[in-house]
Amino acid sequence: MLKDYRFAILITFISTMIFYFSPSLSENFKAKSSLQQSFVEARVTDVVSNELAPDLRVPSILTGKQVFNAEILEGPETGKIVEIQNPLSRQHNVLVEQGDVFIMMIRITGREKVYWAYNHKRSTAIYWMGFSFVLLLLSFGKKEGFHSIVSLYFTAALIIGVLIPSIFAGFNPVPITIILMGIKIVVNFILVSGYNRKSFCAMGGTLLGVIAAGIMAQVFGEFAHLSGIYLDKGEDVIYISNQVLQVRWLMFVAIMISALGAVMDVAISIASAYNELRITDPKLSPTQLMRASMNIGRDIMGTMTNTLILAFAGSSLTTIMMVWGLDMPLTQFINTPVIALAIIHALAGSVGIVLTIPLTAWLARYILK
């Protein structure tokens, strides 16, 4: 039984090693913060005062000022009770009650030490949700579910442990992204579909599809006078690196990562359809098989392009609400960088999906003989 899991165990080990060694190897690529601060868990012992009222615009939110005492639960000051002045606004709304556990920021400014209610403790909810997700995958997917978890873990290791440090080191992100996504694609399909010709076909179709999507995003992004600087926090990352970041190419990287999942789904669907048709009716010619796979792909195309565009729409929901609420004319909003960037990303990802169908079918014609 262990034989069936050897490759998954190897990938898990490699991913763990990446996470273990990456922080020490990439430490010099980060800018050193001048702030002396730490974040610890704390518990509210008693609430001294509440000067709160419902917000006029958002009545479900209480704003104002709160004063309470809290006991520090970890770190060198464990057990110490401090008083916290807690102003509440719409954006910073850490409203607490007696007994609540929250995240406290301790910052040293000169000779003074400031204690601040930084945020609610959200990690417990995230951990439980993650545990539920893993449990469901293992319950219903069994071996395949375990392989899916390993694949996600490996993806996180490549992006967090290799890609991001490489970008901060000043390397050109385009070749690094292509190599890492190529490795990710190979590992994913071996884990999910096994080491066979069908997987090879899907690997090739996926890689070609995401590269096409990345090229489309970069070319038309530059044509529209956009660059990675317009991505969310694109300008901020410039100031937290010791090297000159090649932000120009971050659009290519972003679209390759965001479109990869959808393109993989399409590629394996086309490769599987071609392979099953070939096995079911060996008399079908490669041209007939390719045409049948393309017909199946057209049905997939409609739903997958909607999936990708709706994903981008969901992430830009508040921006769309602003456009509607301010009654912006077409000329104004379509030329706004954030809107133009979202549209180009959504269209580039959809182009990658559309091109993946014929590319995978064409590869299947020669690989699945």
Q: How confident is the model at residue 193 (pLDDT cuts 50, 70, 90)?
A: confident
Query: CB–CB of 274/296 below 8 Å?
Result: no
Residue type, 186: V
pLDDT tens digits, one per residue of 194-246? 888 899 999 999 999 999 988 888 888 888 888 777 777 777 777 777 777 78
Confidence check: pLDDT of 104 > 90: yes
pLDDT tens digits, one per residue of 315-368? 777 777 877 787 888 888 888 888 888 888 888 888 888 899 999 999 988 888
Query: CB–CB of 296/251 below 8 Å?
Result: no
Q: What average pLDDT does the chain have?
A: 87
pTM of the model: 0.84
Q: Which of 267, 255, 250, 153 is nearest to 205 (CA)?
A: 267
Q: Which two tokens stand for residue 301?
A: 């195309």
Q: How many residues does the chain have?
A: 369
pLDDT, residue 250, reads: 85
What are the backbone dihedrals phi and psi of residue 177, each rounded to the nearest 5 degrees, phi first?
-65, -45
- CA-atom Rg of the chain in angstroms: 25
